[in-house]
């Protein structure tokens, strides 16, 4: 690549919620693609391989580090879900007014954290 | 004389005509993920007991097995499209990009096949 200037010039813009929700969408999506699918496939493979392989999976994912990964994946899922639903609305041409756009850019990641907490509350308190 | 700037070389060529297909598939698989992940999360909550016997019994059921296989297909397809965009955005050297996309195809098709086989083996009663 030659040293011609590239657009967009990321460093000249002040951060706004729409930029945060955009990069969160990419980060959570690619994070789940790399880590989440590995966990899913390991889970299914361990189930099919029998109780011993499954016990190994349970021991690793039930450890503090494993639980951190699972909670992180669930947060990534709900964050990606909410920003994805926001994208569906934007896709039909709605929600581009500055106030509306800011509102849902702020609301999406917050709703995602609430959903993550609610999911684990139901799982652990059941 | 050089070969012009990168934008000068493509100016006037028109659209590549392969963008909308990718864009639509990303959304179709997203809808599949919303529906099937909702099923998975509700199922996990309903399961309660995550021991091998209980989970294997649940996943062996024809409806669960079908939904899980569809989820694996939808998730891996969606992930492949997303990671492809990641590679295209950040890997600019043609040879490296080709290698990365090839590795991505191997990983997603291989991972998806393994996931589907695992569910099928469980449902058909292999050694589980």
d(CA B6, CA A4): 10
Residues of B in contact with A45 (CB under 8 A): 114-115, 118
Confidence of residue A93 (pLDDT cuts 50, 70, 90): very high
Closest residue, chain B, to A83 (C-alpha): B30
Does B122 sit within 8 Å of A4, measured CB to CB?
A: no
DSSP state of B114: H
Task: Report the percent of chain A where pLDDT is more than 90.
Answer: 86
Is residue A1 assigned to a domain? no
Domain B18-123 = CATH 3.40.50.10860: no
Cβ pair B34:A81 closer than 8 A: yes
**C-alpha–C-alpha distance, residues A73 and B41, integer Å:** 12
pTM of the complete model: 0.90
A87 CB neighbour count, 10 Å cutoff? 17
Structural domain span for residue A31? 18-125
**What is the mean predicted confidence (pLDDT) over B101-125?**
96
- Backbone φ and ψ of A60, nearest 5°: -70, -50
Q: Name the residue facing B5 among A4, A26, A50 (closest C-beta).
A: A4
Per-residue pLDDT tens over the stretch A38-69: 999 999 999 999 999 999 999 999 999 999 99
Q: What is the pLDDT of residues B67-97, one digit of tens each?
A: 999 999 999 999 999 999 999 999 999 999 9
Summarize the confidence of residues B5-16 as an average pLDDT: 83
Asked if residue A3 belongs to a domain, the reply is no
Query: Which chain A residues in 75-94 lie under 8 Å from chain B, judged by CB atoms?
Result: 77, 81, 84-85, 88, 91
Residue A9 lies inside a defined structural domain of this protein: no
Interface residue B69 vs chain A (CB under 8 A): no
pLDDT of the residue at B2: 65
- Nearest C-alpha in A relative to B56: A47
Q: Nearest-CA distance from A120 to chain B in Å?
A: 9
* Helix ranges, chain B (H): 6-10, 19-47, 52-60, 62-90, 94-123
Confidence of residue B128 (pLDDT cuts 50, 70, 90): very low
**pLDDT digit string, tens, across residues B35-78:** 999 999 999 999 989 999 999 999 999 999 999 999 999 999 99
In total, how many domains does chain A have?
A: 1
Quick check: B68 contacting A, CB < 8 Å? yes
Q: Is A95 part of any domain? A: yes
| Cα radius of gyration (chain B) | 20
Can you tell me the mean pLDDT for B87-115? 96
- Which pLDDT belongs to residue A66? 97
Q: Do A55 and B118 count as a contact with CB atoms less than 8 A apart? A: no
B72 touches chain A (CB under 8 A): yes
Of all residues in chain B, the percent with pLDDT exceeding 90 is 80
In chain B, where the domains are located: 18-123
Q: Does pLDDT of B127 surpass 60?
A: no
Q: Distance, in angstroms, between B1 CA and closest chain A CA?
A: 16
A2-16 per-position pLDDT tens digit = 677 666 666 777 888
């Amino acid at each position: 690549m030659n040293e011609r200037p590239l657009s967009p010039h990321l460093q000249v813009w002040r951060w706004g919620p729409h930029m945060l929700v955009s990069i969160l969408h990419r980060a959570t999506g690619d994070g789940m693609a790399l880590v989440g699918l590995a966990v899913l496939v390991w889970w299914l493979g361990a189930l099919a391989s029998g109780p011993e392989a499954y016990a190994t999976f349970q021991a690793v994912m039930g450890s503090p580090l494993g639980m951190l990964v699972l909670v992180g994946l669930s947060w990534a899922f709900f964050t990606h879900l909410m920003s994805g639903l926001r994208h569906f609305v934007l896709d039909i041409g709605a929600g581009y007014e500055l106030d509306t756009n800011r509102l849902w850019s702020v609301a999406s990641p917050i709703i995602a954290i609430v959903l993550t907490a609610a999911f684990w509350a139901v799982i652990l308190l059941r | 004389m050089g070969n012009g700037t990168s934008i000068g070389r493509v100016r006037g060529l028109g659209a590549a005509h392969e963008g909308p297909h990718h864009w639509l598939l990303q959304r179709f698989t997203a809808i599949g993920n919303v529906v099937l992940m909702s099923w998975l999360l509700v199922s996990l909550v309903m399961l309660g007991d995550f021991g091998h016997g209980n989970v294997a019994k649940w996943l062996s059921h024809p409806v669960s097995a079908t939904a899980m296989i569809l989820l694996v297909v939808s998730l891996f397809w969606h992930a492949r499209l997303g990671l492809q965009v990641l590679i295209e955005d950040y890997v600019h050297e043609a040879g490296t990009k080709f290698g990365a996309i090839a590795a991505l195809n191997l990983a997603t098709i291989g991972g998806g096949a393994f996931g589907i086989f695992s569910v099928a083996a469980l449902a058909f009663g292999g050694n589980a």
